[in-house]
Amino acid sequence: MHKIREKAQLSPNVTRLVVDAPRIAEVRRPGQFVIVRKGPGAERIPLTIVDVDREAGTISLVIQAVGKSTYDLVGLAEGDVITDVAGPLGRPTDLLASGHAVCVGGGVGTAVIWPIAQALAASGVEVTSVIGGRSREWVILEKELRTTGEVIVCTDDGSYGRKGFVTTALDEVCREGGVDEVFAVGPVPMMRACSEVTRPFGVKTTVSLNSIMLDGTGMCGGCRVSIDGASQYACVDGPEFDGHLVDFDSLSDRLTTYREFEQEALARRLACQEA
C-alpha cells in the first residue's frame, strides 16, 4: 500500500500526488515511469516519475484527469492509499554530457521534461525549456523549470508568455544555432511537429511515447511502436525514442483502439457521481 503524502492542483485537470514508494525513490532515474493501480480490479496506468525525495522515501506523480481511472486517482485525498505502484520501469534518459539542450513540453508533457531538465542542468548542460498550454492556467511547472535555465512560455490564446505554439518558439531557438539535442514531450501531434521542426537542422530529437501499456515489462505487446520500420516496445525499449524515426501515424492509430470503451467508462462514472 502506498500512502498519498501530498496532493496539489497544478492546472484545471492536472494533479500532483506525492506517494510513499521508498524502494522506487532509491533507484529511479530520469525518464523512468511506474505502473499504478488504484485498487483491486482497477486499470493499470503508466505514469512518469516526475521527482523523488530519497530521504522521505517518496515519488511525485503528475496525473492528467482524462478518463475514468485517472479521475479515480486524482479523486484520492492525502492520507488515502494506492494499492500498487510498480517500477521503476523503462530505460532511463540518455543525457547529454555537455552542450545545449532544449526541453519542449506541451500540457502535461511538461511534467515529463522536468526531471530531464533537472538532470541535464545538474550535469552542467545549458538548458532552455519551451513549455505551452491553452492559456495561463494550463501552464505547469514553470517555476521549477526556471531553476534549470531559460524558460519560454507559450499559450494558445496569448494570455501568458507569448502567443502561439511551442513549435514556433522551438524553430526560433534552432535557427539561433548551437542546439545539441531537443527533448520533446506532449500530445502526439506536438511531438511529431517538433520532430519536423528539428529535422532540417539535423538536431537529434528525443520524444517520449505515450503508447498503451498493460504490464510494463514487454510481455503484452500493447505498447508496440514502429521505429525506423521495426517494432519495438515503449515499456522496455523506451519510452524515449528518436523522433525522426517514429511512425507517428501508427502510434496515433493504436492510441484510438479503446477510445470508445474509455468514453463509455467515463460517462458511467460521471453519471454515478451525479446520481
CATH no., domain 2-89:
2.40.30.10
> What pLDDT, on a 0 to 100 scale, did the predictor assign at position 66?
83
Could you give the CA distance from residue 27 to residue 55 in angstroms, rounded to a whole number?
Answer: 12
CATH no., domain 100-255:
3.40.50.80
Q: Could you tell me the three cell numbers for 171? A: 524553430
> What pLDDT, on a 0 to 100 scale, did the predictor assign at position 59?
96
Mean pLDDT by 10 residues, the chain (275 residues): 94 93 94 91 89 95 88 92 92 92 94 94 96 93 95 94 94 94 94 95 93 77 87 89 91 70 65 63
pTM, two decimals, is 0.88
- Which of helix, strand or coil describes residue 109? helix
> What pLDDT, on a 0 to 100 scale, did the predictor assign at position 275?
55
Could you give the CA distance from residue 82 to residue 42 in angstroms, rounded to a whole number?
Answer: 11
Domain ranges, ordered by start, for the chain: 2-89, 100-255
